[in-house]
Structure 1
Amino acid sequence: MVQKTTEEYANHGMPLKCDIYTDDTYPKDAPVFLYFHPGGLVGGNRDLVAPWLVQTCIQRKWPLICPTYRLLPQAGGEGLLQDASAAYEFARDWNPLPGSQRRVIVGGASGGFFMAAIIAHQCEPKPLALLSIQGINTFHHRFFNSSVLLTEEEIPPSTMEKFITGPMESGDDMPRDESAFVLDKLTADGAKNPDYSPPKSGPNDCDSQRGMLYDFYTFNNSFVDLVGSVDPGYQWAKRPDAKDRVAQWPKTVIFHGNNDPDVELNVSEDMRDCLGEDKVTLIIADGQPHLYELEKFIEDDGPGMDAVRQSVARLDEIVASS
């Protein structure tokens, strides 16, 4: 039976923890899946993992590691890279066969995929594969540099000042979301638990406007200034001298809704077009908005779930051929 444990994977001025979903019977030569939570790099926490992803890992006996990381703007690009690198090394070294390290699939949802992308850009050896769940792969894309207004009205700087000038925070400092995953959502064999009833949620006094920093920074074209030092984008892949570098890029699977206002589909299309379809598989969820599958199970028949299952099947092909 799968159990959840929590370990500290690093301490970069504050303890950084990760949740590990695994079972003692999993083979020690199986890949580990390292997953970074959504939240636009300014919010969210490691509980924001979709049930279908936990099920996918259970069915394949892949340990699933979900880390907390420090948030923008205080962390900056170098802080994000430091946390991502530490989480990657932790995953590679987690309970392997003697004298070896784990192969690691790295994925993330929304802003969490930026953490996966900088691992692929900056770390060696490269991950076994990448999975983008409607993810942000770079902030050099025009979407983040065209004063896109994601809210009904422009957010005044005074509203965000306390978050911008406040102390360093991580996902552990964020309020628990009602979408948070708990193992009780699954049966002992990893199927959807038909008897699960979510707890009644009362008013959340800890709720904050911190997540609006994503909208604020997008409108003000601020993300490149915050993280550009670790974000090379993908235009380099079009240069004639980039063939070897492109060849080293891990196979990447993306699924993305074409009705996503928070991270437009072209962010993923541009990554595919730069790196090539032999490196990047993009599966489009027709009509679906951002993070439409966050509370879904792999067996659900809802709109867009076929795109999820196709992405998992493609990931299986990549792992099998590695």
Structure 2
Amino acid sequence: MPLPLQKATRLVAVHDVPLDCDIYEAADYPKSGPVFLFFHSGGLVVGDRSMVPPWLVQTCYKRQWPLLSASYRLLPQVFGNGLLDDAKAAYDFARSLGVGGANRHVIVGGASAGVFLATLIAHHLTPKPLALLSICGIPTFQHPFFNSSVLLPPDPITEEEVERYITEPVSIGKSPYSPEAVFSTEMLLPGGAKNPNFTRNPISLRKGSDQDLNRGLLYDYYLYENMFPILVGSSVDPGFDWTATDAEKLKQWPITILIQGDADDAVSPEVCSSVAEKLGTGKAVYCEAKGQDHLFEKTKFLEDALPGAPGSKAMTAVLKAINELGNAVTRQT
């Protein structure tokens, strides 16, 4: 009989503030298989580790990969080096989850800006992850999109509107800006199928936190002011132009699978497509979802990809990415 998915929370490190990690796994998972390390969305300025797409949880459950969703400190109280420190702490923790603390292989990934932390691991840490999964992601801020004064809201956000967030103490993401995207183990049946009887408590959709959701305005502000490349720094975020000259680094780079909606208005699709082009077909697989916006899949289950299901066509890119990810991991384990 399939065992149910369980959630445990562990302390990973203390970097000014505690950094916790949620672990989703069933009791019968092998202790030697790969681990999936996930970083949440939120433009590096907001969000919460509870925001994990159900289809990703189901994918990891079917393959018996423990899924770790890690906290990290937010901009602008930390910069690129701080994000790298937090990513390293989470990666080291994920690797240590073998029997007796033995090292395990790790797959890294994230949604939106969470992909940036996953990419930092591939750039700076060894051993390299088995694979990298980008979900409507930002693998780098060294792209013209982040240096073109892109205006998302009708009017520019003023410094006065975000000053309180710029001057507040260091914090991790503690506000799921999209409460409907918060994952609960009750959403799945034992065996990993979607629970058709799950209903989210309406109160949970309205519940606030001690972190103002308007902190997300920092993304619009920094995007328009072209501040992201400066905040993260080119020494931490080298971009991908190096692929043309550094054959050895490219050889060591993990297989990178990128899910991207071609109607994304929060992050230009060209950010990910250019990364895929520079890495080349031997290292990157670009999975385009036609007509889809940013994080179009954030509340979707694998069942939503079945023929005849509403919006199933949009999930074609997700299914392709899952298949490519499974193949990449199988080849290396």
TM over 0.5: yes
The counterpart of 2:284, out of the listed 280, 285, 295, is 280
What does residue 226 of structure 1 align with? 231
Q: Find the counterpart in structure 2 of residue 125 from structure 1.
A: 127
Match of 2:323 in 1: 313
Q: 3-state DSSP class of the match of 2:179?
A: coil
1:72 is aligned to 2:82: no
2-structure distance, mates of 1:273, 1:148: 23
Give the aligned length.
Answer: 319
In the alignment, what sits opposite 1:41?
A: 44
Which moves more between the two structures, 300-309 or 155-164?
300-309
Consecutive unaligned residues in structure 2, runs of 5 or more: none
1:292 counterpart residue number? 296
- 1:145–1:221 CA contact under 8 A, matched in 2: yes
Query: Counterpart of 1:267?
Result: 271
2:198 aligned residue (182, 196, 199): 196
Matches within 5 A, 1:199-214: 199-201=201-203, 203-204=206-207, 206=209, 207-214=212-219
Q: Identify the residue that residue 254 of structure 2 maps to in structure 1.
A: 250
Q: Whole-Å Cα distance in 2 between the matches of residues 246 and 20 of structure 1?
A: 31
Distance 1:204 1:198 in 2: 12
Normalising by structure 2, we get a TM-score of 0.93
Q: In 2 relative to 1, CA 176–263 (structure 1 residues): closer, same or farther, beyond 3 Å?
A: closer
1:52 aligns with 2:55: yes
In structure 2, how many angstroms separate the alpha carbons of the residues matched to 1:79 and 1:66?
18
CA distance in 2: counterparts of 1:179 and 1:58, whole angstroms: 18
1:277 CA drift (Å): 1.2
2:114 to 112, 115, 123: 112
CA-to-aligned-CA distance 1:164-186 (integer Å, 9 cap, x gap): 11111101366782321111111
Question: Alpha carbons of 1:106 and 1:146: their partners in 2 closer, same or farther (altered >3 Å)?
Answer: same
Q: Secondary structure at the match of 2:286?
A: strand
For the 8 Å contact 2:176–2:182, the answer to whether it is kept is no
Could you say what secondary structure the match of 1:304 adopts? helix
Q: Which amino acid aligns with 1:155?
A: I
For residues 93-117 of structure 1, what are the alpha-carbon distances to aligned partners after superposition, in whole Å with 9 as ceiling and x for unaligned? 01x1457310000000000000000
- The aligned counterpart of 1:11 is 14
Deviation by residue 1:264-292 (Cα, 9 ceiling, x = unmatched): 11101110111111101001000000001
Report sequence identity in percent.
48
1:97-144 Cα offsets, whole Å, 9 max, x none, are 457310000000000000000000010110010000010011010000
1:169 to 168, 171, 181: 171
* Stretch deviating more after TM superposition (6-15 or 98-107): 98-107
Opposite residue 164 of structure 1, the aligned amino acid is I
In structure 2, relative to structure 1, the CA distance for the partners of 1:252 and 1:203 (3 Å cut) is: closer
User: Where do 5+ consecutive residues of structure 1 fail to align?
Assistant: none
Residues 15-62 of structure 1 deviation map (CA, whole Å, 9 limit, x = unaligned): 110100012211112100000000010000001100000000000000
Letter in 2 for 1:84: A
- CA pair 71-3 structure 1, distance change in 2 beyond 3 A: same
Q: CA RMSD of the aligned region, Å?
A: 1.4
**Residues 46 and 177 of structure 2 are in contact (CA less than 8 Å); yes or no, is this contact kept in structure 1?**
no
